[in-house]
Structure 1
Amino acid sequence: MPNKVNISTELLTWYDAHAREMPWRVPPQARLRGELPDPYHVWLSEVMLQQTTVAAVGKYFHDFTTRWPRIQDLAAAQDADVMAAWAGLGYYARARNLLKCARFVTSNLNGAFPKTERELMKLPGIGPYTAAAITAIAFDGRASVLDGNVERVMARIFAIENPLPGAKEELRALALSQMPNSRYGDYAQAVMDLGATICTPRRLQCAQCPIRPKCRAHAQGIAPDLPNKTPKPKKPTRHGIAYVIRRDDGALLLTRRPDRGLLGGMLCWPCTDWGDVDAAHRPPISADWQALNAEVRHTFTHFHLHLKVMLANAETAPSDLGQFVTLREFNPDALPSVMQKVWNIAKHQIGAHNSPKET
């Protein structure tokens, strides 16, 4: 294995001058003085950052830590409040596991996170990446953090042409070989920052890279092509119908999805099942239904979804279908993104003068 190269000295020097500012991060100068971040903040940010960009997470992190400043506060929160606050971040199983983990740490560990990867991985929703990130960043423990940025940097430094995901363990070993003898948290964040700002998937900034002289892919002229990836199978398209039901006073009927499964625990419009062919019109109640012209298109991890939208007025509905939410209580931002798209279509038909105030 080509492991004679070491990039840690140059990378840490670069990080000391160019570290990104993030609300959950302790800057390198402060860490050198012995300051460590709040493990609660590190854990919360790492869970939020899974499959999500730093830019998108900032507002959510601020809102969560303002509303629930300690892990004990989050553990005591109502499930519905947390799910609503999470709306728009996607991958809603993360929010459910967030609550499970907060309650376990509060009830069983006196509100303190374990400091080792092995113990952290016993907690709900914490896998190898998150355990390594918390160990290194929160506790300055020796742990190899491997995300997409780190994979890309290692693949280019060592000109690894084996495609992902098969090359993951090889890249993990290379990342471990580059670790310094101290400053593990800073080093983990330095590699991620380099991948996010310099060694990017496209439009590489090689001229600004502190480790360019040691980069084998750059020397070979193949850096933009790495890492190679095994082609993903084409995502299937599923179809369904969303039903927006409105009372004469403007209240809207919302249903809560089962805790398990896609959009688990989230407030949604009643829908048909999502299948491989156009859904048959199976309205949840008898009413004068109006088919709206626009169609919602949304992409999940494993499939594309096309939703037709139908609108009707009704004064009552079975209790097992859902509950009417008054205009004053209705907050579109508490819906998952796909259901916000349904509302954006329906509200124009209903009429702007009857729409709730959106934040």
Structure 2
Amino acid sequence: MTQTHPTFAEKLIAWQKQHGRHNLAWQVSDPYQIWLSEIMLQQTQVVTVSEYFPRFIEKFPTVQDLANAEQDEVLALWQGLGYYSRARNLHFAAQQICHDFGGVFPENRESLQQLKGVGRSTAAAIAAFAFGKRETILDGNVKRILCRIFALDGEGKAFENQLWDFAEILLPENSSEMSAYTQGLMDLGATVCQRKPNCAICPMADICQAKQQDRIAELPRKKSVKVQEMTLYWLILRDKNRIFLQKRPQKGIWAGLYCVPCFENGADFHNYLRDKQMDFDDLHECATISHRLTHRVLEIIPYECDCKNAAFSANFNENDGIWVDLTDLPQYGLPKPLQQYLA
């Protein structure tokens, strides 16, 4: 893994300047906006982030505005982006920047990695884009690029450490080129060297060893991910134009969001009904919802109940949750499957 192609950085920078993406809203020098976009872009496509990013900047134009916001405000604005731990970490990290760094973004990767939710690759991207630091990113797209172009094969932590070392060797000497180089890696992985690559337009086709060895489909080696199946029971309580919501715990599925009463097993569901003096036979079972998370497939069984009796609906008070008017739902961060169900 010591052999490198001397023109890799030069080829990539030249290609990015001519064919790369240049009109993204977050292609600025402001480290706050760069950080925000990098967190949003984790596990999320550019086209989706392009919708959310302007709304976030309008609502929270500075890191101080974000730090001073309520978590519920942040989660409500994040609704639909998924991976909600990113939003909670974003809010916490904004407070770190204000409290620990005097409201000023740190310029080096090591300090940036102290921020909640910021790993080495994200910290490197911020340092490269905002401050021209010679730091390499190494997300899934970049790993795919390196493994293919240089026919690198392996797995596990030791191999990943080798990839980090190799990626650092490839960095351009001139720090003024770091923005174009880093964006080039992102653009190449997102638009050309995808899972199904478009080798015909790849600037690295002439040096790509996986192409020469006919190993593109095999590199990088694919991880086997075990998917867990999980059944959830929803209790959907309606009172005219209101619905009953509970704030989820800060850990676990949909942490910190608002959801209808949700149970992971039938026993807890029936105990809750008994506690609220409800009869299971009065509930209407609706069509099961299937929802995929990263490593889980959720089978959600919704049960609806129309709380026509005012005294009955009073059983569900502020100690249990809140009654929310359907027109006010956009103010609350809801899990995506519930948002779709209620729509």
Contact 1:287 1:313 in 2 (8 A): no
Aligned counterpart for 1:49 among listed residues 41, 51, 58:
41
Matching of residues 193-212 of structure 1 within 5 Å: 193-202=187-196, 204-212=197-205
Partner residue, 2:151: 159
Matching of residues 6-155 of structure 1 within 5 Å: 6=6, 7-20=8-21, 21-26=23-28, 37-155=29-147
Contact 2:284 2:305 in 1 (8 A): no
Matching of residues 252-271 of structure 1 within 5 Å: 252-271=243-262
Measured against aligned partners, the alpha-carbon deviations of 1:228-255 in whole angstroms (never above 9, x if no partner) come to 123222x12111210111113x111111
How far the C-alpha of 1:283 sits from its partner, in A, is 4.5
Q: How far apart, in 1, do the equivalents of 2:327 and 2:202 lie?
A: 53
Does residue 219 in structure 1 map to residue 212 in structure 2?
A: yes
Partner residue, 1:169: 161
Contact 1:332 1:343 in 2 (8 A): no
Shift in CA distance, 75/330, structure 1 to aligned 2, threshold 3 Å? same
Q: How far apart, in 1, do the equivalents of 2:290 and 2:223 lie?
A: 26
Contact 1:332 1:340 in 2 (8 A): no
Larger relative contact order (CA 8 Å, sep ≥ 6): 2
User: What letter is aligned with 1:175?
Assistant: A
Q: How far apart, in 1, do the equivalents of 2:320 and 2:71 lie?
A: 20
Contact 2:254 2:335 in 1 (8 A): yes
TM-score if structure 1 supplies the norm length? 0.86
Judging by fraction of residues, say which structure has more helix: 2
Partner residue, 2:296: 303
Contact 2:4 2:170 in 1 (8 A): no
Q: How many residues align?
A: 329
Shift in CA distance, 144/278, structure 1 to aligned 2, threshold 3 Å? farther
Q: How far apart, in 1, do the equivalents of 2:82 and 2:152 lie?
A: 32
Contact 2:72 2:333 in 1 (8 A): no
TM-score if structure 2 supplies the norm length? 0.90
Structure 2: give runs of 5+ residues left out of the alignment. 308-312
User: What letter is aligned with 2:184?
Assistant: A
Does residue 321 in structure 1 map to residue 320 in structure 2?
A: yes
Contact 1:242 1:270 in 2 (8 A): yes
Partner residue, 1:186: 180
Measured against aligned partners, the alpha-carbon deviations of 1:117-137 in whole angstroms (never above 9, x if no partner) come to 111111222221211111111
How far the C-alpha of 1:3 sits from its partner, in A, is 2.3
How far the C-alpha of 1:18 sits from its partner, in A, is 1.4
Does residue 5 in structure 1 map to residue 38 in structure 2?
A: no
Contact 1:2 1:158 in 2 (8 A): no
> Pairwise CA RMSD of aligned residues?
2.1
Contact 2:225 2:295 in 1 (8 A): no
Contact 2:258 2:332 in 1 (8 A): no
User: What letter is aligned with 2:4?
Assistant: K
Identity %: 35
Q: How far apart, in 2, do the equivalents of 1:152 and 1:48 lie?
A: 21
User: What letter is aligned with 1:17?
Assistant: Q
Structure 1: give runs of 5+ residues left out of the alignment. 27-36, 345-359
How far the C-alpha of 1:61 sits from its partner, in A, is 0.8
Partner residue, 2:242: 251
Q: How far apart, in 2, do the equivalents of 1:333 and 1:87 lie?
A: 8
How far the C-alpha of 1:106 sits from its partner, in A, is 1.9
Greater shift, 91-100 or 284-293, is seen at 284-293
Measured against aligned partners, the alpha-carbon deviations of 1:203-245 in whole angstroms (never above 9, x if no partner) come to x211211121111111111123211123222x12111210111
